[in-house]
A and B are shown apart, each in its own frame.
Chain A
């Protein structure tokens, strides 16, 4: 009976593990195999050859795109935190009986396809569109002014797409904070700002960590916003991977670059987790 009980968690986890195995580990393995192939368009395709030099090529040829993607993702993540944290805080602490509706408003854009949402920005921000057209007619901006095809448009587009991903985990962690702790802090002569900095912010760190990971990681691989809203200077590593796969038919280099990006993201996330000390904060929140 004891052994059977001990096996129950594994049975419960089995569907998830199988799903993860089939749809993550197997494709990852196939990607690894693809990344070690050689050949070409005129060589009858690609064949497995333990070609580890593909990784060297992927890094040396594409480091500029990797660094650029990390930089833009950092801007997006900071923007998501700056906008998402106050929004999540306000809903968690002051949303009252309207919390569900307010959360729904945040999530509403997700009912529309990601591509459609991004394409809509090309119409809204068009040089003669509904925003810039009237401004140009009134002489408030110059005729040559444009928002599309700039880095700002790409950052804004990715920010718009990922703000809910940042806001939701922040909301969850803030919602879990016992409000009596804040009261206790103010009873002990802490100002509201001190109460926030000493009580609320540290306890919300697991949410901040999740928000950063859920924003920074996918934003680094995003290519849709750069493709539709950007210019040559905003060509990101996701665009390069897409270009290698879909335009150049260079699958080994594309696979190698994808795996390099994955490793870079894991390293950055690990360093960040250590620096933030989220494990300790999570344990404290759980104990509280």
Chain B
């Protein structure tokens, strides 16, 4: 059984995680990633994608170090004796394998991180990372199509093969998990501030109804809303085309004309949500659940009755990785239920590993035995959450978004949806 986390430390750490997916990217930091060196690298080379994948990339022994890039606050945290932040699950990996992990929380946006790595890929140079975590979408598809991430060796991921949840196996964007292993997953639904709405919110139509949410009180997620609206309209995004995209755009324009939308966010909606600027918003499940469960805010995460958007943050090994064998060993490490539980209890997103729910319930019992009824109750509540451990019936009402696979599709998609959020 996993050691229950210190609840005080966990709460303090979770308070810090409040901006995991809403971490304010450095908007004043200039053009992040487009440095002079990177532009020079891009200019100086007309090469295509990086070096061809070596046939024996996963042969041999793992190296001593894995460089792991992830999103902020997306890993379990503890506190060392020197007061510094530690990651117990990574420390356990190092203790077991003697492989050190240089863990960096350097990913704030998929496109921004992709932009940082692209010049290296184009020049055929290593990126300096062995593992990166990218959400399913155009950047992930571009990485795979361009041959900029390695194909994984299934023989080296026995835990994944044994314990991966069904939704994490062979997703549409990466059949047979040739290049990816899910890190965490989540749902884009509706966050509701119960103190500010007039009546129950059950679908996206309520976000276009001033009688329910008022005017200038709704936040929308710019990147997620096209797919979420298509799902709401009964369209399967995965098979959609320009006609369906225009239908979704028409709905979004109707919502905008209704006067309910305050802002379209890429990140940062939770900051406005917390201070009461929004009555409701398209939201990511983990963000709202944290505030509801651990901060007792009057928030509710609503799974829209017409269905919701499912997304996955995926581990991948970029071409040129110095230690691909160590990387896949680390990726597979997190497909052991007791290790996955350490992460899930911290980040409160949907784990791609079976068996974690039972472990969380056991940990809740352990809190109770220790006399910490508050932590026991909250852990139990999280363990029973459909958004962390969805039932099959629940998952059946979710869908991945449209996987754009050509530049023409990207151009048409942006031409249809950008004007909604930019004019």
User: A residues within 8 Å of B by Cβ?
Assistant: 26-27, 30, 33-34, 39-48, 64-65, 113-115, 118-119, 122-123, 126-129, 144, 146, 148-149, 223-224, 227-228, 230-233, 235, 239-240, 242-243, 245-249, 251
A144 touches B215 (CB 8 A): yes
Kindly state the separation between the CA atoms of A123 and B223 in the bound complex, as whole angstroms: 25
Report the minimal beta-carbon distance from B271 to chain A, rounded to whole angstroms.
7
- Per CB-CB distance, the 3 closest pairs between chain A and chain B, nearest first, are A40-B407, A115-B28, A235-B422
Kindly state the separation between the CA atoms of A178 and B277 in the bound complex, as whole angstroms: 53
Kindly state the separation between the CA atoms of A232 and B218 in the bound complex, as whole angstroms: 12
Kindly state the separation between the CA atoms of A114 and B421 in the bound complex, as whole angstroms: 25
Residues in B whose Cβ lies below 8 Å from that of A227: 27
The verdict on A146 contacting B31 (CB below 8 Å), with A41-B142, A42-B145, A232-B263 known, is: no
Kindly state the separation between the CA atoms of A42 and B271 in the bound complex, as whole angstroms: 34
A-B contacts besides A146-B216, A231-B263, A246-B32, 16 pairs, CB < 8 Å: A26-B36, A41-B139, A42-B410, A44-B146, A45-B48, A47-B46, A48-B46, A115-B27, A122-B272, A123-B275, A148-B277, A230-B263, A232-B256, A245-B115, A246-B31, A246-B109
Kindly state the separation between the CA atoms of A199 and B258 in the bound complex, as whole angstroms: 55
B27 touches A228 (CB 8 A): yes
A42 touches B406 (CB 8 A): yes
B118 touches A45 (CB 8 A): yes
Kindly state the separation between the CA atoms of A42 and B48 in the bound complex, as whole angstroms: 11
B85 within 8 A of A: no
Report the minimal beta-carbon distance from B93 to chain A, rounded to whole angstroms.
33
B292 within 8 A of A: no
The verdict on A64 contacting B26 (CB below 8 Å), with A42-B407, A249-B118 known, is: no
Kindly state the separation between the CA atoms of A182 and B29 in the bound complex, as whole angstroms: 46
Residues in A whose Cβ lies below 8 Å from that of B2: none
The verdict on A42 contacting B141 (CB below 8 Å), with A115-B27, A231-B263 known, is: yes
B205 within 8 A of A: no
Kindly state the separation between the CA atoms of A40 and B411 in the bound complex, as whole angstroms: 10
A122 touches B146 (CB 8 A): no
- Contact digits for B257-291, partner A, Cβ 8 Å, 1 yes 0 no: 00001111010000110011100000000000000
The verdict on A240 contacting B40 (CB below 8 Å), with A149-B262, A224-B27 known, is: no
B115 touches A249 (CB 8 A): yes
B341 within 8 A of A: no
User: Nearest chain-B residue to A57 (Cβ)?
Assistant: B411
User: Nearest chain-B residue to A127 (Cβ)?
Assistant: B277
Residue in A44, A149, A243 whose beta carbon sits within 8 Å of that of B122 in the complex? A44
Kindly state the separation between the CA atoms of A26 and B115 in the bound complex, as whole angstroms: 21
Report the minimal beta-carbon distance from A45 to chain B, rounded to whole angstroms.
5
A251 touches B266 (CB 8 A): no
Interface residues of B in 104-159 (CB under 8 A from A): 109, 111-112, 114-115, 118, 121-122, 138-139, 141-142, 145-146
Kindly state the separation between the CA atoms of A225 and B122 in the bound complex, as whole angstroms: 34
B262 touches A231 (CB 8 A): yes
A235 touches B32 (CB 8 A): no
The verdict on A249 contacting B28 (CB below 8 Å), with A30-B43, A44-B49 known, is: no
A126 touches B275 (CB 8 A): yes
Residues in A whose Cβ lies below 8 Å from that of B217: 144
Kindly state the separation between the CA atoms of A221 and B418 in the bound complex, as whole angstroms: 20
Residues in B whose Cβ lies below 8 Å from that of A41: 138-139, 142, 407, 410
Residues in B whose Cβ lies below 8 Å from that of A223: 27
Report the minimal beta-carbon distance from B214 to chain A, rounded to whole angstroms.
6
Residues in B whose Cβ lies below 8 Å from that of A148: 272, 277
B407 touches A27 (CB 8 A): no
Interface size class of B (residues with CB under 8 A): 35 or more
B64 within 8 A of A: no
The verdict on A127 contacting B423 (CB below 8 Å), with A48-B46, A231-B263 known, is: no
Residues in A whose Cβ lies below 8 Å from that of B421: 232, 235
Residues in B whose Cβ lies below 8 Å from that of A233: 423
Residues in A whose Cβ lies below 8 Å from that of B121: 45
Residues in B whose Cβ lies below 8 Å from that of A246: 25, 31-33, 109, 111-112, 115
Kindly state the separation between the CA atoms of A42 and B407 in the bound complex, as whole angstroms: 6
A129 touches B275 (CB 8 A): yes
A249 touches B263 (CB 8 A): no
- Contact digits for B384-423, partner A, Cβ 8 Å, 1 yes 0 no: 0000000000000000000001110011001000101111
B34 within 8 A of A: yes
A40 touches B410 (CB 8 A): yes
B266 touches A247 (CB 8 A): yes
User: Nearest chain-B residue to A30 (Cβ)?
Assistant: B39
Report the minimal beta-carbon distance from B18 to chain A, rounded to whole angstroms.
15
Report the minimal beta-carbon distance from A161 to chain B, rounded to whole angstroms.
11
Residues in A whose Cβ lies below 8 Å from that of B36: 26-27, 30
B42 within 8 A of A: yes
User: Nearest chain-B residue to A235 (Cβ)?
Assistant: B422
Residue in A40, A119, A146, A245 whose beta carbon sits within 8 Å of that of B34 in the complex? A245
Interface residues of B in 158-204 (CB under 8 A from A): none
Residue in A48, A126, A235 whose beta carbon sits within 8 Å of that of B277 in the complex? A126
5 residue pairs from A and B, CB less than 8 Å apart: A41-B138, A148-B272, A149-B263, A248-B111, A249-B111
User: Nearest chain-B residue to A33 (Cβ)?
Assistant: B43
- Contact digits for B208-234, partner A, Cβ 8 Å, 1 yes 0 no: 000000111100000100000000000
Kindly state the separation between the CA atoms of A126 and B272 in the bound complex, as whole angstroms: 8
Kindly state the separation between the CA atoms of A46 and B47 in the bound complex, as whole angstroms: 10
Report the minimal beta-carbon distance from A275 to chain B, rounded to whole angstroms.
31
Report the minimal beta-carbon distance from A247 to chain B, rounded to whole angstroms.
5
Kindly state the separation between the CA atoms of A113 and B139 in the bound complex, as whole angstroms: 32
Report the minimal beta-carbon distance from B355 to chain A, rounded to whole angstroms.
37
Residues in B whose Cβ lies below 8 Å from that of A230: 263
Report the minimal beta-carbon distance from A254 to chain B, rounded to whole angstroms.
8
Residues in B whose Cβ lies below 8 Å from that of A48: 43, 46
Residues in B whose Cβ lies below 8 Å from that of A240: 422
Kindly state the separation between the CA atoms of A148 and B265 in the bound complex, as whole angstroms: 14
Residues in B whose Cβ lies below 8 Å from that of A123: 275
